[in-house]
Amino acid sequence: METKTSELFIPGPDGRLEAKYLKSKKKSAPMALVLQPHPQYGGSMNNKIVFETYQTFVKNNFSTCRFNFRGVGKSDGTFDNGQGELADAAAALDWLEKENLDSAQCWIAGFSFGSLIAMQLLMRRPEINRFIAISPQPNVYDFSFLTPCPTSGMVVYGKKDNLVPHEFVDALNKRLSNQRGLKVEFKEIGDANHFFSKKENELHKILDDYIKKESALY
């Protein structure tokens, strides 16, 4: 059952962006932005993994937002091969920050294609404290821009990801684990595919444990 969430439209660079948002009642609550998977493969903010990630942040007293990239649902515009979607994410983060001026933390999370956009936004926005990348696709997208990675975070993936050969995840792990002063945790879920089918409970526990642990540091 979804926690009561306000539906709204955020001003984006190519028109309005359809969003769901819940503001925490906790003073100086941390904030989180959750990004959807690929729009051209049926991805939206109502994707099951996006929804569960959003709910996990909400239940941990984060002011949390998820939204549809341009051309998805009621969002204006058309798909722009990642560049426009990155601009959409930046606009959504701008809006979220204005709604939470006293926030103690700023997190970014994304699933699949959304994890690529999340990591690109991370490189451009120094105020982001933590990230969660779920089922990234380093075999499809070049993640070399993450050298150096600016902050600690977590990567979650399925051991039986049918879209990403394991050696690409290993290479990403080696790239991010060699950086001083930060820690990127790689969490593997056995028997899980790219979409964590029938493994949603394991994913939820990993997300919840990490969010509780890292948000307590502030």
User: What tens digit of pLDDT does each residue of 53-81 get?
Assistant: 999 999 999 999 999 999 999 999 999 99
Report d(CA 1, CA 170) in Å as an integer: 36
pLDDT for 43 beyond 80: yes
147 — pLDDT class (breaks 50, 70, 90): confident
pLDDT score recorded for residue 139: 97
**Average pLDDT for the chain:** 95
168 within 8 A of 136, measured Cβ to Cβ: no
List % helix, strand, coil for the chain (3-state, nearest 5).
Answer: 35, 20, 45
Please give the Cα distance from 104 to 100 (Å, whole number): 9
6-215: CATH topology: Rossmann fold (3.40.50)
- Using CA atoms, how far apart are residues 108 and 129, in angstroms rounded to an integer? 8
C-alpha to C-alpha distances, 131 to 27, 42, 76, nearest whole angstrom: 22, 24, 27
Per-residue pLDDT of 150-175, as tens digits, reads 999 999 999 999 999 999 999 999 99
Q: Is the pLDDT of residue 91 over 90?
A: yes
What are the helix (H) ranges across the chain?
Answer: 48-59, 83-99, 113-124, 166-177, 200-215
**Is residue 125 predicted with pLDDT exceeding 80?**
yes
- Judged against a pLDDT cut of 70, whether residue 2 lies above it is answered with no
Residue with tokens 């699933």: 111
Cα 77 to chain centroid, rounded = 21
- pLDDT-derived band at 7 (thresholds 50, 70, 90) equals confident
